[in-house]
Amino acid sequence: MQLLAACRGAVNSLLAEVVKDHIREHLVARRPRAAATDELIDVAHSSSETASE
């Protein structure tokens, strides 16, 4: 069970990094607005935390 929990945490962290990089690469490259980008990343991060509970 501990191994499964550790794997789940690792996959969730990896997914969060992939989403963050995707937002920065594809959305910011078209319309560079740092504050909006950071807010979108925060929303994506908090929604992924809520989904895993």
Q: Looking at 3-7, 8-12, 32-36, 42-46, which range is the least confident one?
A: 32-36
Report pLDDT for 50.
66
- Cβ partners under 8 Å of residue 28, min gap 6: 34, 37
Q: Using CA atoms, how far apart are residues 29 and 32, in angstroms rounded to an integer?
A: 6
Whether the pLDDT of residue 35 is over 90: the answer is: no
Q: What is the pTM of this model?
A: 0.63
Read off the pLDDT of each residue in 21-42 and give the average, rounded to a whole number: 78
Does residue 2 register a pLDDT over 90?
yes
